[in-house]
Structure 1
Amino acid sequence: MAPFRHALNALAAITILATLSACTESDQQQAPAPPPRDVDVAQIETADLPVSFEFIGRTASSQRVEIRTRVAGFLDEVAYEEGKRVKQGDVLFKIDPAPFEARLRAAKAELAQLEARLENAEALLRRVKPLAEIEAVAQKELDDAQGSVREAAAAVEAAKARVFEAELDLGYTTITSPVEGLTSSATQREGAYLGIGSEPLTYVARINPIWVEFSVSEAQALRSRQAQVSGSMIIPEDKRFAVNIKLSDGTLFPNTGHISFADASVDDQTGTFLVRAEIPNVDTEPLRPGQYVRVYTSGAIRPDAILAPKRAVQQGPRGSFVWLVDDENKAEQRPVVTGPWVNDNWVIEQGLNAGDRVIVNGSLGLTPGTPVNIVSLVPIDHPENGAIE
């Protein structure tokens, strides 16, 4: 009986397993497939993208002239309003001219005396010369007369030089501005004695055009060069980048300038080199030397650049990635390499191609291969201002 009982138990077990398997298959066949996920996508396009580079800079005078005295004397007048703008030729200081006027009169008197001596010497020569031709006088008298004329003429020239020097010194008592610009405070006041070689009386800073100086790191320059070699960036043919600046309060300065100078060497302490831009200043509320500004240089282009909305780019353990809709309308995850951002978009340097459909909304909880339903197409704005690097 025991073998018969074991056979019955085995048969019962097989029957139960077959019944359970049939039920499971029936349940699976009856379970409906999940509906496709609704998503919004942006279709990737390529376009040339202007590129701007951002730096921190400082304004500087395009010509800063220290005002010094050329003659020694007592200061009579400070003739300008400190801190105000002056034009070229405006009077800044006046030194007591009386001693210099006296020297000029003395020099002119000496000149007149020597000119009279020259006339007498020339008159004597005119009398002696015909007599010497007929040998009525000795040759020595003719030689002496000619020597006296030359000596008197040389003395007259020396006297004229002293008169010119005295006139210069008298002119130097009125100190004028050599350039148009803003003045600084005066270091001396009326009555002070000014010596030659003393400290500057003030300075005048030319502010139109204004200079903006900023530093470019060696690493930035190398990245730019590599991008040019690879063709991922095109710079202006004449390397004449346009320059715009923002003030410390975020205001965009209305005038545009250009780069006028780049230093030939890299500073061994900072690893940067100096670049200077020249910008036309404005008459109302002009830029002044020493202001800190944000500098934006433009003119470079990223050809066939790819932009993706920021909402589409996500971060994972292995870096940035996006969700795509493949040809079968299923979700696909793809890693990307991002560059700078432009408004609400990332510049994608690697990972996307023109025509890819990137999921912008509805990616939460997606897994590779999930069916999706495209609800709307989100446009990608390619701004005219370009990327900031």
Structure 2
Amino acid sequence: MTHGFRVASLCLSLGLLVSVVACHDNKPAAETRPAANVDVINVALRDVPVVFEYVGQTESSQQVEIRARVNGFLEKRVYTEGSLVHAGDVMFVMDRKPFEAALDAAQAELAQQKARLVTAQANLDRVRPLAAKNALSQKDLDDSVGQEQAAAAAVEGARANVIGATLNLGYTTIVAPVTGLSSFAKKQDGSYIDATNSLLTYVAKLDPMWINFSLSENEMLDLRTQTQNGTLKLPPIGKLEAVIVLADGSIYPERGYIAFTDASLSSETGTYLIRAAMPNPTGSLRPGQFVRIKLLGALRTSAVAVPQSAVQQGPRGAYVWTVDKDGKAQQRAVETGEWNGNDWVIKSGLHPGDHVVIDNTLRLMPGVPVKANLVATPPAAVNIGGPDGGATGGQQAGAAGASGPAAANANAGANAGTTAAQPTAASGASGALGEHTALYFASGSSSLDAQSADALAAVARRLVAEPGMRVAISGYTDSSGSQAANQRLAAARAATVRAALVVAGVKIERIEMRKPAQIVANDPPDKSRRVDVMFSPAAGG
């Protein structure tokens, strides 16, 4: 009986299995996933515009020193400090009385010498006919001729003295030689002016405005190499168009051009000075501003460029989706170059004729069939937008649009420039903070000197290249003079450094502003002109 029960159970199990299999076979086949609709472009070699981006500083195209040309007392300041003055406007008036007296004396001397000349000429007129008749000796004639010539020379000397006295009197009215923005008066009414303190103020011409920026030796060599091998086409220097982005991210409405490139490399900074001339008819640009300057007109020749939406980032780097000849999606690793406008230049990984997917990439998997719709390649364009426009952020701002080894060299140069600007282990009121860069300003001014401006540009490039790095900015107040004025000047200098870093693309939350420190007696004299930029992975207090 037990054997019969087992046989019955086995038959029942086999029956159930057959039923299940039969039910499974009767179910409809699973629906096949439909092919994704994607837009693709046909890769072709084309010329792509390139935008070079740098950090620059504005400078007056003609900053004129207003100096007194005569010694005397300053009677009155006529102009309003900081106002716009026009060529010929009166700025200062000196005491005229001594010079008017000197002019009167010179004119009296001229009249006296003219009278002597008249007498000498009359005497000569009498002597000459008598000498002709031998009534007088030849010596008498020679003496009369000499007296007449000496009197004539004395008249010319007296006339020159009158001209000099007239000029000196005119110099007591000091006018603006150019149209521009005036500075504060360095001498007040009643001051005695002589050759040792003749500087009265400055007038800075505002139109046009110069934009100064620097190109490192590595960047210059990289540009030269790309130009020689034909991958980069540069227009003549005067045809490179300049656009500037202000500190708030707005685009300055006027466009300028490159007006000057230094012929020699600076031995102090290792950079070449380049200058752009920018129209400034409304005077909205002022000397000393930090701006981002973008140069337009260069072309990347025979380049492979795809829209930015086509490039994806994965664990192994950048890649794009392509459609092969069988209509299936394939993932292709690429090496990217500069990022500008709507295009991302592809240095390697794509070839002419490849079909690159530009949308609907989230539905793709390798080997999956797709329905490709061939669309026209978007035209190449440049981006001169605000802080987030242009190439891949600030990293390529200092590398002239280079990437790969060239960009690495540029970043290395940036770091070298930073450490070359007096890196030390700084410690003091803020505690030990590691390496820092010391920046120096002109005495009594919030404008950087040329070497420190280049060092600050190197600091900005390093911060852009190292997003995890932060900085603390701290100045110093002089122990002499007005304490309040010294603190305001130190704060203004620190604010200048912060503004330059923000313009270069450093986020403001990565910058810490610290109170200025007081210098002590054993500090070097130039420490009062210094602002320290201290590096730290977490620059806190």
| 1:380 Cα deviation after fit | 4.4
Q: Residue 320 of structure 1: SS of its match in structure 2? A: strand
Contact 2:238 2:259 in 1 (8 A): no
1:293-329 deviation line (CA, Å, top 9, x unaligned): 1101111112333222334333456543323211112
**1:275-354, aligned counterparts within 5 Å?**
275-283=274-282, 286-316=284-314, 318-354=316-352
Greater helix share, structure number: 2
| 1:378 Cα deviation after fit | 6.1
> What letter is aligned with 2:174?
I
Q: Which deviates the most, 75-84 or 296-305? A: 296-305
Q: Provide the identity percentage.
A: 46
Unaligned runs of 5+ in 2: 1-24, 384-389, 392-400, 402-541
1:175-208 deviation line (CA, Å, top 9, x unaligned): 1111111101111222221113314111100111
Q: Residue 195 of structure 2: SS of its match in structure 1? A: coil
> What letter is aligned with 1:88?
A
The 3 A distance-change label for structure 1 pair 275 and 304 is same
Partner of 1:233: 232
Equivalent-residue separation in structure 1 for 2:230 and 2:152 (angstroms): 76
Residues 1:104 and 2:103 are matched in the alignment = yes
Equivalent-residue separation in structure 1 for 2:172 and 2:159 (angstroms): 20
Q: Which deviates the most, 377-386 or 177-186? A: 377-386
Q: Provide the TM-score with structure 2 as the length reference.
A: 0.62
Contact 1:39 1:362 in 2 (8 A): no
The 3 A distance-change label for structure 1 pair 237 and 278 is closer
Partner of 1:42: 40
| 1:164 Cα deviation after fit | 1.0
The 3 A distance-change label for structure 1 pair 144 and 268 is closer
> What letter is aligned with 1:374?
K
1:133-153 deviation line (CA, Å, top 9, x unaligned): 110111111111111111111
Residues 1:381 and 2:386 are matched in the alignment = no
Contact 1:40 1:378 in 2 (8 A): no
Q: Residue 278 of structure 1: SS of its match in structure 2? A: strand
Equivalent-residue separation in structure 2 for 1:164 and 1:269 (angstroms): 48
Partner of 1:3: none
Q: Residue 266 of structure 1: SS of its match in structure 2? A: coil
The 3 A distance-change label for structure 1 pair 36 and 324 is farther
Unaligned runs of 5+ in 1: 1-26
Equivalent-residue separation in structure 2 for 1:220 and 1:364 (angstroms): 41
Contact 2:48 2:305 in 1 (8 A): no
Contact 2:342 2:382 in 1 (8 A): no
The 3 A distance-change label for structure 1 pair 37 and 271 is farther
| 1:273 Cα deviation after fit | 1.0
| 1:338 Cα deviation after fit | 0.8
**1:111-126, aligned counterparts within 5 Å?**
111-126=110-125
1:310-354 deviation line (CA, Å, top 9, x unaligned): 343334565433232111123333332211113454211222233
Partner of 2:139: 140
Partner of 2:50: 51
The 3 A distance-change label for structure 1 pair 353 and 375 is closer
Q: Which has the larger radius of gyration?
A: 1
Partner of 1:273: 272
Q: Provide the TM-score with structure 1 as the length reference.
A: 0.85
RMSD: 2.5
Partner of 2:369: 372
Greater strand share, structure number: 1
Contact 1:39 1:372 in 2 (8 A): no
Contact 2:238 2:257 in 1 (8 A): no
Partner of 1:210: 209
Q: Residue 224 of structure 1: SS of its match in structure 2? A: helix
Equivalent-residue separation in structure 2 for 1:65 and 1:101 (angstroms): 28
| 1:376 Cα deviation after fit | 4.4
Greater relative contact order (CA < 8 Å, ≥ 6 in sequence): 1
Q: Residue 158 of structure 2: SS of its match in structure 1? A: helix
Q: Which deviates the most, 320-329 or 94-103? A: 320-329
Partner of 2:94: 95
